[in-house]
Amino acid sequence: MDASDAARARRPARLLRSPPATLSLLALAALLLAGCAVGPDYVRPAMDLPLAYKESGGPWKTAAPQAVDASHPWWEAYGDPVLGALIVRANAANQNLRIAEAQYRQAQAITAAARANFFPSVGLNAGASRAQTNSTGAVRLGTTDTLGLGASWEPDLWGAVRRSVEAGSASEQASADDLAGARLSIQTTLAQDYLQVRVIDLQRDLYASTTAAYARALELTQHQYAAGTVLRSDVALAESQLRTAQAQAVDLEAQRAQLEHAIAVLTGQAPAAFSLAPLAATSQPPTAETLSSSAALKLQLPVAPTGLPSELLERRPDIAGAERRVQAANANIGVAKAAYFPQIVLSASGGFSAAGLASLFDTPSRVWSLGAALAQTVFDGGLRKAHTDQAVAAYDASVAQYKQTVLGGFQQVEDNLATLRVLERESALQADAVRAAQLAERLALSQYRAGTATYLSVVTAQTLSLTNQRTAAQVLGRQLAASVSLIAATGGGWNAADATAVAAAPKTSGN
């Protein structure tokens, strides 16, 4: 090898250490421009809202999503360990929760994929080829071996990648909110089903006591008919009354079975593998107090504070998720606008290429390249404008959805506060009606025994008494359902014993 050949062999290595000045300037410009990001920066949508609840005088403010914690053990306020155990099982085994959790992991992966665009892509290649050439009549057959490393990088000059990551992160957070919302929905649905089962158990106890009383009344009419003091129609009325009550009691069994099946599925079990033991029946006849009080169900009815603080609405997963989707839609506008600007791709490669493996790593076999490519779309028939308009429209829709979700959340709180307030009065009035109906039933039966009233008046009084007792139990069930709905409407962070508990560190029971 002569001196000129040696110089040519050394030139690539020297140039690798000293890239051309134009490429250095281009890379420096890329780094300087990387601080820019087109598109609007996110600002939470403003809402014009009243300053107080209509149904409660407590102050509140515009919702601002915080870290959502739908796993707060709100169910402990009911004081029922069976309910708590069921919710713990649902948290661990419900299949819909597993779907939401998998979707959250999918959103995390999408965000990671968007973040990967910040970095260059690097590839390794190796190959061998054998070719025949014909140059100036001389046929040559040779082998070429190659080994190289290549990299390419598109600087995020206009913030398209940053906006994509921003959109992905917001969508990931929204998916986390969806997971919390799904957990809260399953918890509250299970609680409502369980409480309705307990109300049915209370009604079954009522019907057991009622049918026993009706059986005694039938026996009385049969004896009096045998003695010739009453008509056969009295016996028929008493028997009809008894059979009707028994049929209604059987209907309760179907309702209870369906609720039990629903609880089984919510806790991740097949209905055939799950059963819920009924409440122990009491030997005493139900009274107005037992039918109107949750104590008869061996649980407590949480009492709402006079004014629910506004911070509770900030714990609603659906409101938090809706706002984060607004943020994602806002970032997507920047992604669409970045398409108006040119794209620059920097590339570099280096390696070895030789006619044989023995000389592959020799200095003359070294090869390298540096390059930059600039691309700018001149005409696209309005495609970029259409994408931008689409992104803006999607943002407007997400803002409207966010505002509607906030208003819907306030409505749900107001509805359940009003329902609880009205049902409290209705429960007191219904208890009075039960007491009056039970007294009328006792008086009618006494008058019938004395022969001063017909059995029709007894049947009428018994029907009225049973109807009022069952209504009292149903009102209690509606109160329990409304209390759970209020908890759901406030995001599951409400503790009846202490409304300020939402500001404290949440517990982790049930997870």
Could you read off the pLDDT of 114-166 as tens digits, one per residue? Answer: 999 999 999 988 888 877 777 676 777 777 778 888 899 988 888 899 999 99
pLDDT tens digit sequence for 81-124: 999 999 999 999 999 999 999 999 999 999 999 999 999 999 98
Q: What is the pLDDT of residue 335?
A: 92
Confidence band of 504 (pLDDT split at 50, 70, 90): very low
353 DSSP 8-state letter: E
Q: What is the pLDDT of residue 391?
A: 95
Confidence band of 358 (pLDDT split at 50, 70, 90): low
pTM for the structure as a whole: 0.81
In whole angstroms, what is the distance from residue 398 CA to residue 326 CA?
Answer: 5
Q: What is the pLDDT of residue 64?
A: 46
Instruction: Summarize the confidence of residues 408-412 as an average pLDDT.
Output: 87
For 358, the token pair is 């023995």
Confidence band of 303 (pLDDT split at 50, 70, 90): low
In whole angstroms, what is the distance from residue 102 CA to residue 12 CA?
Answer: 51
DSSP bridge partners of 138: 135
Confidence band of 52 (pLDDT split at 50, 70, 90): low
Instruction: Summarize the confidence of residues 65-70 as an average pLDDT.
Output: 46
User: Which residues, 6+ apart, have CB-to-CB distance to 281 below 8 Å?
Assistant: 204, 205, 208
Confidence band of 31 (pLDDT split at 50, 70, 90): low
Q: Work out whether the CA dihedral 116, 117, 118, 122 comes out positive or negative.
A: positive
Q: What is the pLDDT of residue 11?
A: 41
Is there a contact between 40 and 330 (Cβ–Cβ < 8 Å)? yes
Q: What is the pLDDT of residue 194?
A: 97
Q: What is the pLDDT of residue 316?
A: 82
Q: What is the pLDDT of residue 116?
A: 92
Name all domains of the chain by residue range, CATH numbers in brackets.
37-120+158-341+383-503 (1.20.1600.10)
Confidence band of 311 (pLDDT split at 50, 70, 90): low
Q: What is the pLDDT of residue 35?
A: 55
Candidate ranges 31-35, 328-332, 495-499; pick with highest mean pLDDT:
328-332
Higher pLDDT, 392 or 286: 392
Residue whose structure tokens are 């009428």: 460
